[in-house]
Each structure stands twice: as C-alpha cells, then as structure tokens.
Amino acid sequence: MSTPPPGDLPGQPPQPPQAPQPPQQSYGAAPSYSGGPTPSGDPTVGKTLGIVGLILAFVATPIGLILSIVALVQSKGAGVKNTPAKVGLILSIIFIVLGIIITIVAISIGAAAFSEACAELGSGTHTSGATTITCP
C-alpha cells in the first residue's frame, strides 16, 4: 500500500496550494560589551563624600582615608574628577605615616628616659611625689 500525497487522503477534501513561506530571519551578531556602565557625567558624584573625607583626614585620619577612597571609586565610576577626595587620600596617608613615626620616637624617648632614671637611682622601687619607678 502506498502513501497518498498530502491533501489526497481518503475522506478529506483536496487542500488548496499553500503560499510559500518567507525565509527564516537569521540572528545578527551578538551585541558588543561596552566594558561597564557609561559615565553619567554628573560632576557631583562622590564630591560630598570627598569633602567629608578631606575634613576627616585632619580629625579622624583612618576614617578620612576610607571615605576618600570610597569617594574616588564613586567618582571614577561616574567618569568625573574628584580633587577633594585625592587630597584627602594623600593627607590621610601622610598623617598616618607621621603618626607612626611620632609614636616610635615618643616610645624611644620614654624608654631612654626610663633607662637614664634607673641608671641614676639604681635597682629597686623609687617614689618621687606621685611618680613611682621600679627599676630592675
């Protein structure tokens, strides 16, 4: 038994010829990646935080350092310059380094003064007014 051509099945009326199908659309090339968000160009992005970071560089140096870094990252993402944040970052780093140097010098001077006092007084516990020194 042979298969009748489409539209010629027994018991069905003959089918009218179908219109030709349009060619399927092909997909174009994938869209290119731009590399990140487009700069907004808003000149105020991160500026307020940069100014706060600059002020805190003088008062609370580690916090000023952190806020200046955050302000710089925000401004860089928006594609704008942030001079107050850069100045706050530089000053915070300078003040932290100076603080470390001053602390080392103060400890050294204190240790030298203690050694000198013990060399004059000898070993034991010595009291002078409200100050008590225990020398080895």
Residue-wise pLDDT for 66-77, tens only, equals: 999 999 999 998
Judge whether 61 lies within some domain: yes
Judge whether 31 lies within some domain: no
Query: Does the structure show a pLDDT above 70 at 5?
Result: no
Judge whether 13 lies within some domain: no
Kindly report the three-state secondary structure assignment for every residue of the chain: CCCCCCCCCCCCCCCCCCCCCCCCCCCCCCCCCCCCCCCCCCCCCCHHHHHHHHHHHHHCHHHHHHHHHHHHHHHHHHCCCCHHHHHHHHHHHHHHHHHHHHHHHHHHHHHHHHHHHHHHHCCEEEEECCEEEEEC
The domain tally of the chain equals 1
Domain that holds residue 123: 47-135
Judge whether 10 lies within some domain: no
pLDDT (tens digit per residue) in 8-55: 556 666 677 777 776 666 676 666 666 555 555 566 778 999 999 999
Judge whether 39 lies within some domain: no
Report the mean per-residue pLDDT for the chain.
83
* Nearest alpha carbon to residue 37 among 66, 69, 71, 73: 73
Judge whether 9 lies within some domain: no
Judge whether 77 lies within some domain: yes
Choice among 11-20, 42-51, 97-106, 115-124 with the minimum mean pLDDT: 11-20
This model's pTM is above 0.95? no
What is the model's pLDDT at position 40?
Answer: 57
> What mean pLDDT do residues 115-129 have?
85
| 9 compared with 136, residue with greater pLDDT | 136
| CA 115, chain centre distance (Å) | 46
Judge whether 96 lies within some domain: yes
